[in-house]
Amino acid sequence: MSIRTQPRPAGPDHGADRRRRLYSDSALPDRLFHAVARSGGGLVLAVMLLVGGFLLYRAWQALRKAGLGFLTTAQWDPDAGHFGIAAVLTGTVLIATVAVVISVPLAIGTALYIAEYAPVRLRRTLVSVVDLMAAVPSVVYGLWGLFFLQGKVIGLARWLSTYGGWFPLFTVDGADPHDPLATATVYTASTFVAGIVVAMMVTPIICSIIREVFSQAPVGEREGAYALGATRWGMIRSVVLPFATGGMIGGTMLGLGRALGETIGVYLVISPVFAIQPHILQTGTSSVSSLIALRYGEASPFGMSALMAAGLALFLMTLVVNFAASSIVARSRSGATAE
């Protein structure tokens, strides 16, 4: 929007004092930019509504038959009339929780080193490496987890089960940690292994967001902390971390939304079971996305409707998580400038 001035005509009382009247002129480029920006935002909302509407339309037949039992039934046999997402939803949440618990400390530490400690040349290299990790296909992580990680993590899973078995999540049914001949297959294809694989996928995303927030901490407050005698860690603890709290929470929730919808990486690692299985170290788990990938090719028309209902539940859950993350980031102090 351009501002133009127009001189007022001279009168008997305005001989030497000519005042100028300001008025706005909305130029064509401004109007075009406003229209394009509004159209882009509206298009995103329209696509989201169309996706949700399509899933609801295709899932209506299964939802009408299952009713509220769709949320409480663990079995998945749509053609027999017994199906629900209680088991796969529980597995989805557990896998995503394990992934977030592992990835968030790793992402925060990496972002803190890149933003505050790394030399400039090394910083550029590390930023590029983290961004490249975010671009690696999920099937590569899945193959890595299946052929390499799964065998290496058995010892850690056995140790956690032996000394932390009193905690319900670390209990492994049928495992005797004191028997040296006990089979190790009870620790494979578990929620824990799948969670580690997903953690490697979401760590670069969370790290990139948190690193950007750390770099925006006000310079004036940084210098003020140093002027008061703070060490580098003291400055980080008193200035950077409080400033970036909202951004860290938002980045974590965005990573959680990514972890909830992971498909191929989880599908390659887990051994699907359609029962509520809360023991994360024990073999057998499932997720909504892996269920769809597993049953899509062989589903009957009614089974396809049930899969669409499962997809609708995952869509709504991910949408809620992402909206919550955006709200937290918008209300946080992160991104504000120092006065």
Task: Assess contact for 309 and 256: CB atoms under 8 A.
Answer: no
Looking at per-residue pLDDT, the higher value among 122 and 178 belongs to 122
Q: Which residues contact 220 (CB under 8 A, 6 or more apart)?
A: 338, 339
- First-to-last alpha carbon distance for the chain, in angstroms, is 27
User: Which sign, positive or negative, has the C-alpha torsion 226, 128, 40, 262?
Assistant: negative
- The pLDDT value recorded for residue 180 is 64
| pLDDT tens sequence across 273-324 | 888 888 999 888 888 988 998 888 888 899 999 999 999 999 999 888 888 7
Instruction: Tell me the average pLDDT across 69-80.
Output: 88
| pLDDT tens sequence across 128-184 | 999 888 888 889 999 999 899 888 898 888 888 888 888 888 888 877 767 666 677
Residue 81, number of CB atoms within 10 A of its CB: 10
Residue 177 has phi, psi (to 5 degrees) of -65, -15
Measured CA distances, 43 to 50, 315, 321 (Å): 10, 18, 21
Measured CA distances, 56 to 3, 44, 68, 84, 239 (Å): 50, 18, 15, 16, 47
Locus of tokens 């929007």:
1
Q: 32: burial class by Cβ within 10 Å (0-12, 13-18, 19+)?
A: exposed
SS3 323: helix
Q: In the structure encoding, which two tokens stand for residue 65, read together? A: 């038959």
**Rounded to an integer, what distance in angstroms lies between the CA atom of residue 283 and that of residue 185?**
7
Residue 24 has phi, psi (to 5 degrees) of -95, 145
**Percent above pLDDT 70 for the chain:** 88
Measured CA distances, 303 to 80, 94, 298, 310 (Å): 10, 25, 9, 11
Residue 336 DSSP code: P
Task: Assess contact for 247 and 121: CB atoms under 8 A.
Answer: no
**Rounded to an integer, what distance in angstroms lies between the CA atom of residue 271 and that of residue 25?**
65
Verdict on whether the full-model pTM lies above 0.85: no
| pLDDT tens sequence across 2-14 | 445 455 555 555 5
Q: Which residues contact 85 (CB under 8 A, 6 or more apart)?
A: 70, 71, 73, 288, 309, 310, 313
- Give residue 104's pLDDT band: very low, low, confident or very high (50, 70, 90): very high
- Greatest Cα pair distance, the chain, in angstroms, is 110
